[in-house]
Structure 1
Amino acid sequence: MWTKNWREEVWAQIDQDWDVIVIGGGITGAGILREAGRLGLRALLLEQRDFAWGTSSRSSKLVHGGLRYLKQGDFALTRESVLEREHLLEEGPGLIEPLGFLLASYQGDKVGRLTYGAGLTVYDLLALQWSHKYYSPDDFRMLAPHISPVGLKGGYQYGDAETDDARLVLRVIREAVADGTADQPILALNYARVTALLRDEAGLVNGVTVRDEA
């Protein structure tokens, strides 16, 4: 994929029967393409602009474990998120990287040190790892020298992860396409706008009309 004439080669192959046609080349579409391939399906992905052009290039870049879900009491979703984060860290070195955060505690805060500590402890336990650490006010200011010292009671450091969202999308698409074979093709094409859905006599979608936007 992405050799000199790859678009021409893909265009020459798209007019065939597909089990799945994915419209949209963001991370959701890329993930569907890869899973379709793993299920043994003939799959085609079409994106009207660059891969990862839309929402997937405008994310926070964070691969977080769902600390906010823990605040809402959703332990199951938090555990799912932290385990997925750890899986991505193992699977994508160089693409998914650890990222540390500092959480300051001040006098008068509605949430105190003990509550922060308890929440981060549960967060780490759900991830089956220990990343958070408490720092005294002086030590915390060594880590964050520009933070206001007025009323500072100390703070915590904890870990999540970050990624280049566009690179992540491209990697997933490339992995999906690489798994394709002559009998089970998996193809992806950008600057290919879907202009209409084709339907059979029962009204079910059975194809698409595509226009080259390159």
Structure 2
Amino acid sequence: LHRLVNSGGLAGAVVDGLGNVKGTYVCVLDADLQHPPQRIPEMLALARRTNADVVVASRYIAGGSTGGLDGPLRRFYSVGLKTLSQMLFPRRLASVSDPLGGFFLLNQSVLNGVTLRPIGYKILLEILVRCRWESAREIPYSFQPRRHGDSKADFRQGVRFLQHLGMLFVDCSPMFAPARLVTRPDLRGDAAAAGSHW
């Protein structure tokens, strides 16, 4: 899929891609080879064998590594923002050690009836929080040094991530469910679902 108009950045590109693929499973990974594509068959086999809705390639389980992150400061931010996300969505992210990663495979059925509204580039977090899924599995991988292009992680992207996290919390946490029902009565079903899986 070649997009003639750049809309929504990386997350927008992924959303466009998800809307145009036809298979049962779809895999998302970076094109700069920091995510090893040779792990895709293993991820697909695991999804089929366990009937998992989501398979996440994780840097934070035994056998995984964050070695490709650019320096200790970026590693600190990566772990800190991951921990913050898990604190805000403890039930939804309990079985996922790398919810901010960009290397994952999912059954397209989890996207049915859901409008994705990511800000920035953490599309996996958007999917895990907004979509209805039952089971997630993980495989370890080593995050590789960048071979091509430049990192998009900067202060501006950090601010956008915090905006995204705040929007997800307001949209999906049971704490804000009464306000959502008052302002958007058409979302009663979604609000109930969000409360049940938060």
Q: TM-score range by the shorter chain?
A: under 0.3
When the two structures are superposed, what TM-score results if normalisation uses the length of structure 1? 0.24
TM-score by length of structure 2 reads 0.26
- Larger C-alpha radius of gyration, 1 or 2? 1
